[in-house]
Amino acid sequence: MKLFGTDGVRGKAGDFLDAITVLKLAKAAGIYFRKHSTTKKILVGKDTRRSGYMIENALVSGLTAVGYDVIQIGPMPTPAIAYLTESMRCDAGIMISASHNPYEDNGIKFFDNHGNKLNTTCEKAIETIFNDDELMQSEQVTGRNIGASKRIDDVIGRYIVSIKSSFPRDLNLSGLRIVLDCANGAAYKVGPTILQELGADVIIVNNKPDGFNINEDCGAMHPEYIGKLIREYRADIGLALDGDADRLVVIDEKGEVVDGDKLIGALCNYLHEQKLLKGNGCVATVMSNKALEDYLENKGIELFRSDVGDKYVLEVMKEKGINFGGEQSGHIIFSDTAKTGDGLASALQVLALILKSGKKASVALNPFDLYPQILHNMKVTEKIPLKDINGLDEILKPIREKGIRDLIRYSGTENKIRLLLEGKNKKDVEDSMETLKSFFKKVL
């Protein structure tokens, strides 16, 4: 059975992700982590979905069945689980969340003892154990070896102190009016607390989760809502988180959403000017606009590209010795502060940038113009490997000679091919896309 996707295990709660599957997955993960155990403790947190209760209890049953003690800390952001797993010296951490998905879905993300997301090799090892019924049965424990569980409610303070310490000590948020959208998710307590303790005037919305309203017409997936509130309350900036608070979307004082690539560019240059950028580089994904690459190059900063997914961004960051990277979707990683995308840590760096620049958000976070970009999805009957498609290189050659960047890939979950083109001349990009669409209609 295939379990892991691009970001842990995710699916419809009670269907693909039912109690029996979760219990088995917990046993398999426990058996895997036990090989290198030092403390026999695993941390478990969750977002605010109703199905989190079912999944949490199934995880506890599976982990204790193979000898693990479980620490349950309730609703907390994904990056808090990464931080606390290492801080509390646990063998592993588990976050129950489907991130920005609707409440019907849920998911399970695993972290190692250093707070890093598991790589594909580790995930495959857990899947192998999961599918080995004989091993699963033989590795169960009995008697005094069965694990225990306990709930701790006061660890939120550790995470708050950690995030606040990343904000420059010579600054405070006094005088800033901020609209904060918690997406009725995991940051509904910790988000407002951090901003208020740093002195901001915070207008808090969507901070009343009921188990079903997470991400519902709110948060990072629907930032247009707080754009209206910013104008109404004459706020300086808006911050929209997603359900597990690992993603941030920023809205300026005009109520306009700040493009993710522009945000990455502005933050990277800010770190560079503050002499805090390591490796003189930045990591973004293959989806990021080439205008970001050109902007950074003009600043003497090299852009490296990774596959889509914040864990792939982090892999390239580690490989290149870089401490900053992100995705245009809002996952931004400051690796000196967090082991994964952290919406609140990113928000504090955005606010520090604005305060130090002395400019309004609409100016400070708009450092360059994007190049025209077209993304088109086409249904296909068969996913023929791109290298085996006759004539594709001949079609792409004149397109590339115009200075147009192309990204062609199949969807990982659907029978679709995704075509992305971008360049400085809009008409060239549009004409080239029509040429590509016609070509793929014939061959696929």
2, with CB counted inside 10 A (0-12, 13-18, 19+), is exposed
CB atoms within 10 A of CB 177: 17
Q: How far apart are CA 78 and CA 100, in angstroms?
A: 12
Model pLDDT, residue 128: 97
DSSP string, 38-52: SS-EEEEEE-S-THH
Classify the C-alpha dihedral 230-233-236-241 as positive or negative.
negative
Model pLDDT, residue 53: 97
Cβ(261)–Cβ(289) under 8 Å? yes
Q: How many residues does the chain have?
A: 444
Residues forming the active site: 99
Q: How far apart are CA 250 and CA 246, in angstroms?
A: 13
Model pLDDT, residue 41: 98
Cβ(243)–Cβ(343) under 8 Å? no
Q: What is the pLDDT along the chain (444 residues), one digit of tens a residue?
A: 789 987 899 999 999 999 999 999 999 999 999 999 999 999 999 999 999 999 999 999 999 999 999 999 999 999 999 999 999 999 999 999 999 999 999 999 999 999 999 999 999 999 999 999 999 999 999 999 999 999 998 899 999 999 999 999 999 999 999 999 999 999 999 999 999 999 999 999 999 999 999 999 999 999 988 999 999 999 999 999 999 999 999 999 999 999 999 999 999 999 999 999 999 999 999 999 999 999 999 999 999 999 988 889 999 999 999 999 999 999 999 999 998 999 999 999 999 999 999 999 999 999 999 999 999 999 988 899 999 999 999 999 999 999 999 999 988 667 899 999 999 999 999 999 999 999 999 888
Model pLDDT, residue 6: 78
Model pLDDT, residue 413: 64
Residue appearing with tokens 């225990």 = 148
Model pLDDT, residue 189: 95
Global pTM value: 0.91
- Structure letter (DSSP) for residue 23: H
CA dihedral 204, 208, 211, 214 (to 10 degrees): -20
b/e per residue 97-114 (b: at least 16 CB within 10 A): bbbbbebebbbbbbbbbe
